[in-house]
Homo-oligomer: A and B are copies of this chain.
Amino acid sequence: MDIPYSPAPGRTAGIMQFVRQRIAAREWPPGSRLPSLRGMARQHGVSKSTVVEAYERLESEGVIRARAGAGFYVAGPLAPLALSEIGPRLDRQIDPLWVSRQSLDLGAQALKPGCGWLPEDWMPRDAIRRALRQVARDPEAPLTDYAPALGLPALRTQIAQHLGTRGLAADPRHILLTDSGTQAVDLLCRFLIEPGDAVLVDDPCYFNFLALLRAHRVRIIGVPHAPDGPDMDRFEAALEEYRPRLYLSNAGPHNPTGARLSAAKAERIHALAEAHDLILIEDDIFGDLESRPSARLASGDRSDRVVQVGSFSKTLSASLRCGYLIVREDWLDALADLRTATTFSGAGLTQAVIARLLRDGAWQQHTRLLRSRLAQAMPRAIRLLCALGLQPWHEPEDGMFLWCRLPDGIDGARLAQAGLQQGLMLAPGNVFSLAQTAGHMMRFNVSQMDDPRLPERLATLIRTCPC
């Protein structure tokens, strides 16, 4: 049916043109909400009824769409019909930030076997409460002043001592505290790479590495990952072909695979790094969950080519934000300056609380407990998933992650989207895969799978998934 044409009067046409320009400039992307009628009217000095008319004409043209009681949205290529009812976030592609968004914003009622961290009741809440009370009493606590540029010396010393017990001796003077492990990697990227540089990552790898590196506009090169580390032939070929500046990787247990780097591969990576002038960033955020230490790029002798990154988010608290990096001495001042320029200083009070938990041994005791609980949860999760027809890629010795192949014909992204509608948060394989070759894979977190509702919910989802 043709829509009869009648030109819009002057002010209405002005509003329509304004909206069209914003959409054309991609300032308002598909799915984004238009300004309210009142806001638009005020902003342009026109009456609300003028805006109503402009929006209705744009809607009849298919440029925007009204949603009952929820305003107007920019029209665009949208996912399956039912998804659009849930809200704009679900309209997004499954991209590297998908898991982060869902994990951070889903309510407490959701089941989260795809989540990247431990359940709240696995965390040392009583010890944290005690440390908060102790810091509140401590006359020397850094309550209000800015922290020193490199962070609280007491915590840097505690971190060095702890790493010493893991055979990763570090000089406290080479430790820079940050607000998170992610921020440490971001700071290093700002310092070390330029837009257009090549950076090596594992495929699959922690999805946020991909999001972070995209924010730095680098060329990301994936190297297939095996249970004992990267595929070395492909690693070497990538060095020859792309001349990357950095290799960014997770130490064991590897995210998402639970892999453990072998000593032979660690040695080979070091030799190649030397030959190709490659810098190695090793994110050791899960290392304290290892029952039996796997090889490290950042070993005791602290090659100038390796930067170790760590944090307490996975084993202590992700609400007490604190990460760190350990780096060669001649980079420290420049990194500290860059940190000052971009975030000014760290959270001294948080650092003091964490230092106390390390000093009195509460954190160390808690990580022992975590290792033992995970060692029990892992075989339980493997049994559950195998019963549902999923197949572990390998059986990790430790950590929280289990990387699984889905039953034939099931697509991970579709399963995750369907799960979300049922309050089940899953981590589809392709959010971890640069090459997008993990559509049939899924990452599970064995610590998040003890809810008695989970087996039935997951079984139903797999049985009914329209994949």
Interface residues of A (CB under 8 A from B): 25, 27-28, 32-33, 35, 42-43, 88-89, 97, 100-101, 103-105, 117, 120, 123-125, 128-130, 132-133, 135-137, 142-149, 153, 157, 172-173, 179-183, 186, 190, 195, 208, 211-212, 214-215, 301, 303-304, 313, 316-321, 329-330, 333, 337-338, 340-350
Contact = CB atoms under 8 A, between A and B. Distances in A.
B319 A143 contact: yes
Contact of A100 (B123, B313, B340): B340
A143 B131 CA distance: 11
B153 A186 contact: no
Given A136-B132, A342-B212, A146 B318 contact: yes
A357 B342 CA distance: 27
Contact of A330 (B33, B135, B183): B33
- The quantity of this chain's copies bound in the complex is 2
A109 to B, nearest CB: 14
A214 B190 CA distance: 12
Contacts of A100: 149, 340, 344
Contacts of A342: 182-183, 186, 212, 215
A129 B143 CA distance: 8
A132 to B, nearest CB: 4
Contacts of A32: 330, 333
A179 B321 contact: yes
Contacts of A132: 132-133, 135-136
Contacts of A345: 104, 180, 318, 321
A344 B143 CA distance: 25
Q: Which of A35, A105, A136, A153 has the most C-beta atoms of chain B within 10 angstroms of its own C-beta?
A: A136
A153 B34 CA distance: 11
A128 B316 CA distance: 23
A434 to B, nearest CB: 15
